[in-house]
A and B are shown apart, each in its own frame.
Chain A
Amino acid sequence: MANITNTPESAGSNLMARALREAFYAGLVALGLFVLFVGLKTDQNILNELILVQRWGLLAIFVVIAAVGRFLSVAYIRPFLARQKVTNAVTGLLPDSVATRFFRVPIVVVAAVIAILLIFAGNAIAAALPAVLVPWVTMIRALAIIYVLAFGFFYFRVYIAAHFNTLAIIALIFYPPVMVYFFGYQGSLKYVDNFGIQILIYVMLAWGLNIVVGLAGLLDLGYVAFYAVGAYSYALLSSYFGLSFWVLLPMAGIFAALWGIILGFPVLRLKGDYLAIVTLAFGEIIRLVLINWTAVTKGTFGISGIAKASVFGIWSFDVSATNNFAKVFGLPMSSAYYKIFLFYLILALCLLTAFVTIRLRRMPIGRAWEALREDEIACRSLGINTVTTKLTAFATGAMFGGFAGSFFAVRQGFVSPESFVFLESAIILAIVVLGGMGSLVGIAVAATVMIGGTELLREMTILKQIFGPDFTPELYRMLIFGLAMIIVMVWKPRGFVGTREPTAFLRERKSVSGSFTKEGHG
């Protein structure tokens, strides 16, 4: 009865009261959680004494964020979403209605004007403003650009969905020239190297691991070992024997594949958790060997001065070489050419990985991998030798890890065991799981979001404005990584792309819902 007699106003005030109450509780919980984490900090003073630093201001910010967030969520966001559901049901615009309201032409025009204005006049405006406001100008510019781009994606979404692969490859091919055009050779380094190459390395690693985890359903926590094998194969063989990158790239792949088989043999009988533990141990063993076999690997010092790759031996990127790329073409000296070359190299390696994976899925071996993930006993009853099937999965996945490893060595010019810690394996696995096991597009998106997102955090000087000058956002990237994973797993438990594309069809290609596919038992 009480519900019926409620007038809208009293419902509104009830909501406000509830929102305030929940905000208060949220603030209280945040205070309780963060008082020791954030409010107090142990430190050393000048006399090497342990002192307690009090950071009540920072604590207050955390509490306020929690309380305000809860208030907004209860008072505005949830009622909005509830109304949205009703509107959606009435108008029948179920998935698109929020987006169509969000991407309206007048807003786009405003955003486009702001973006163009700030792109061309942003520096002048920033110079005129006090230093405190400069990051805000950059942020508004970035947001405006992102909005306009998102509108473009939304407007052409049907076309993009139909031609996603082609468009993505074209965009990636034109990415370095566009960046050079906008930011100059030196300025483009950040975008080509830190974003482009970094993301593509992880895309390739995740696609390699996808064969083992996503297709064959074998949980591998030591994948970074193959990355290390590839990197050290190149580093050692090029510095001891002076072999070139193009000889060592396939060799690194073969070595890694051999190690994949070596790992594969003892774990053939293991499943699930046991398999995960043994692969984890394998990853650590490789790293410990690299640390302790100092006579060959130089231990924790690592191997430095690794030779650069050349364009198939025709043009070199060594400054002293006579066939130096810049000298041959009469260009000014810059390290950007090498980075752009590396970008195209890793792009080609990624495309090779994708091509082979797509091809393999349609071959008997690829189908056997997926069948193995679904039911190993049924596989054996159909005459499939599960031993060789598992070993080929390990070897193929490891081979791509090896390729990526030798590329890593060539890009860094330096390898040390510290690059191959367990965290790397965990990140690669997280990307595979977040992207949706087995889906190449989903994994590429996940790698872009995760690796690009953490790189982007370094650029967010605006956070320093909020949290004070001591705040180093990149230290929080793992926190944000974890947060993003939780959000994705709640929102889409099967990853970004949870459906599976069948490898053959009679009448029409229907995606298989994630609820039917299995994750594998090991």
Chain B
Amino acid sequence: MALETDTMTKDPILKVDHLSMRFGGLMAINDLSFEAYRGDITALIGPNGAGKTTVFNCITGFYKPTMGMITMRQKAGKEYLLERMSDFEVNRDAKVARTFQNIRLFSGLTVLENLLVAQHNKLMLASGYTVLGLLGFPAYKKAAAQSIEQAKYWLEKANLTDRADDPAGDLPYGAQRRLEIARAMCTGPEFLCLDEPAAGLNPRESLVLNELLRSIRKDTGTSILLIEHDMSVVMEISDHVVVLEYGQKISDGNPEHVKHDPKVIAAYLGVEDDEVEEVIEQIEEIAVAAPGDTPK
């Protein structure tokens, strides 16, 4: 019951309504609805092929969903319908930043330059769309100095200051992950989407990453949505977990709730054919006993 009141007071930053995405005959996402709350770290989990990355690509404008609505509500109250915007507008206007499952850094640019590219739109405006900057107006110089300060701040946070002048492609894997997150944060987002940020990290690097994500939330108030397979990360840092299987939501709630949801256990571990009945019964029992336990 405590969860119920929790959701009441919470202010949704992202609302996904009846989202469906069809690739030819394949229904990658089927009528998915969930909410992410402001200031929360929301995790999107599910077995391989459940459609998590597809949801991400729909949210960040890289895919146009077949059906459904995705609403982003900024702190100031302005609302954006993300499914109608193209990928770069989702970042520029709606302030939703993302990272990628397979890291996409500008490997030939230095670490610092990566962070400066992320501040493109701000600098573009300050340079009068290049014209004033080309003529050497002081406004651009000031903005450029500011952008370097901003980059320094994130370098410090991601613990990359020593490598600032090295090419991004030269960094070890864990540092590349942190750089990608820092780069996304340099765009000044209100909502940060991370696609498997802990993939390929060793336990120590995972801990560092957890710290980074927590401090991002604490210091900037940015809400985070992450896809993750590493349950230690999910259970450790997320406030709210959404579980997908075959493009549908099978569970939604806090980590404790999701961990003990028989549907989730069945999805992850699988069940023998003869146990199917039993599991369904169990699920129904729970639903009858505590209808308020699953929010919405």
Q: Does A367 contact B (CB under 8 A)?
A: yes
**Chain B: interface residue total (CB-CB under 8 A):** 47
**Chain A: interface residue total (CB-CB under 8 A):** 39
Tell me if B104 and A507 are in contact (CB < 8 A): no
- Chain A nearest CB from B138 CB (Å) reads 14
Tell me if B100 and A500 are in contact (CB < 8 A): no
Which of A356, A506, A517 lies in contact with B108, CB distance below 8 A?
Answer: A517
Tell me if A381 and B108 are in contact (CB < 8 A): no
- Provide the A365-380 mask, 1 if CB < 8 A to any CB of B, else 0: 1011011011101111
Residues of chain B lying within 8 A (CB to CB) of residue A373:
108
Q: Does B121 contact A (CB under 8 A)?
A: yes
In the complex, A517 Cα to B155 Cα: how many Å? 22
Tell me if A506 and B165 are in contact (CB < 8 A): yes
In the complex, A512 Cα to B112 Cα: how many Å? 13
Q: Considering the complex, which residues of chain B in the window 249-279 have a beta carbon less than 8 Å from any beta carbon of chain A? A: none
Residues of chain A lying within 8 A (CB to CB) of residue B161:
506
Q: Does A491 contact B (CB under 8 A)?
A: no
Residues of chain B lying within 8 A (CB to CB) of residue A364:
116-117, 119-120, 123-124, 127, 130, 133
Which of A368, A371, A505 lies in contact with B165, CB distance below 8 A?
Answer: A505
In the complex, A381 Cα to B105 Cα: how many Å? 11
Residues of chain A lying within 8 A (CB to CB) of residue B155:
506
- Provide the A502-516 mask, 1 if CB < 8 A to any CB of B, else 0: 111111111011001
Q: Does A492 contact B (CB under 8 A)?
A: no
Residues of chain B lying within 8 A (CB to CB) of residue A363:
123, 127, 130, 133-134, 140
In the complex, A334 Cα to B246 Cα: how many Å? 84
Residues of chain B lying within 8 A (CB to CB) of residue A374:
105-109
Q: A364-B127, A375-B106, A381-B100 are in contact. List 19 more A-B contacts (CB 8 A).
A: A365-B130, A368-B120, A373-B108, A374-B107, A377-B104, A378-B105, A381-B62, A381-B87, A381-B184, A382-B117, A384-B117, A505-B112, A505-B164, A506-B164, A512-B109, A516-B107, A516-B168, A517-B107, A518-B108
Question: Could you list 22 A-B pairs, sorted by A, with CB under 8 Å?
Answer: A360-B134, A363-B134, A364-B116, A364-B117, A364-B123, A373-B108, A374-B109, A381-B87, A381-B91, A382-B120, A383-B89, A384-B117, A392-B130, A502-B112, A504-B116, A505-B164, A506-B148, A507-B165, A509-B165, A512-B109, A512-B167, A516-B170
Q: Interface on A for B, CB 8 Å cutoff? A: 356, 359-360, 363-365, 367-368, 370-371, 373-375, 377-386, 392, 500, 502-510, 512-513, 516-518
Q: Interface on B for A, CB 8 Å cutoff? A: 60, 62, 87-89, 91-92, 97-100, 104-110, 112-113, 116-121, 123-124, 127, 130, 133-134, 140, 148, 152, 155, 161, 164-170, 183-184, 187
